[in-house]
Amino acid sequence: EVQLVESGGGLVQPGGSLRLSCAASGFTFSSFAFHWVRQAPGKGLEFVSAISSNGGTTYYANSVEGRFTISRDNSKNTLYLQMGSLRAEDMAVYYCARKQRLTQGHYYFDYWGQGTLVTVSS
Amino acid sequence: DIQMTQSPSSLSASVGDRVTITCRASQSISNYLNWYQQKPGKGPKLLIYAASSLQSEVPSRFSGSGSGTDFTLIISSLQPEDFATYYCQQTYSSPPDTFGQGTRLEIK
């Protein structure tokens, strides 16, 4: 059974840092790219960051560029999001999502974690 | 970035009703469009990919159509477990892939 389990969320002060993890099981982790997607309270879904299957290519939303770093450890089947200089507007539930490719450009997220809540407040 | 606009933002319906949710892209995205269902406290669940392909194990009462800028998600006969929020997502121009603002489907 495919499982994605996020952890690492919590309460952090503005300007602080946090590292999120997404532990994967039930499939060959190193064969898939992943995204982090966030959802502010009562709001919709927003792309945060993406990483290729070997970790060699990464992407970031403009709003987090320079503050967040996505990485992965294929030996540990784990995806990470290092978050720094946190702001009130970063407060959200953060989901990891597995990217399933169809053809060039066509893809979808076939598995999502349950999410981990990041609260930014003094 | 490509903007995705869903309508309505919310709707009330009864079990057995036929429901239509629309999603419009700010530019043509061919059929690079996915639909997800999200229930409170859960991660989204994929329903439809490439505009009209039904994800495995998703009930056949869900269907998708459209191409270019206009897309539709139809639930042919609402079931109690279908009350949730629905999101469209474009992957034509990514990153970033972008989502619609969501359509909240409530029980009438």
Q: For residue range A59-114, list pLDDT tens digits in order.
A: 999 999 999 999 999 999 999 999 999 999 999 999 999 999 988 678 999 999 99
Q: Give the strand order in the sheet containing B4-7.
A: B4-7, B19-25, B70-75, B62-67
Contact B87 A97 (CB under 8 A): no
Q: Number of CB pairs < 8 Å for A and B? A: 61
Residues B86, A9, A96, B22, Cα dihedral to 10°: 20
Per the structure block, which two tokens stand in for A36?
């982090």
Of A50, A106, A114, the CB nearest to B43: A114
Question: CA angle at residue B5 from A46 to B27, to 5 degrees?
Answer: 95
| Distance of alpha carbon B75 from alpha carbon B58, whole angstroms | 11
- Give the pLDDT score at A25: 98
Per the structure block, which two tokens stand in for B94?
């990514």
Query: Mind listing the pLDDT tens digit for each residue in B1-60?
Result: 899 999 999 999 999 999 999 999 999 999 999 999 999 999 999 999 999 999 999 999
Beta strands in A32-83 (DSSP E): 33-39, 45-51, 58-60, 68-73, 78-83
Residue B49 Cα, gap to closest chain A Cα (Å): 7
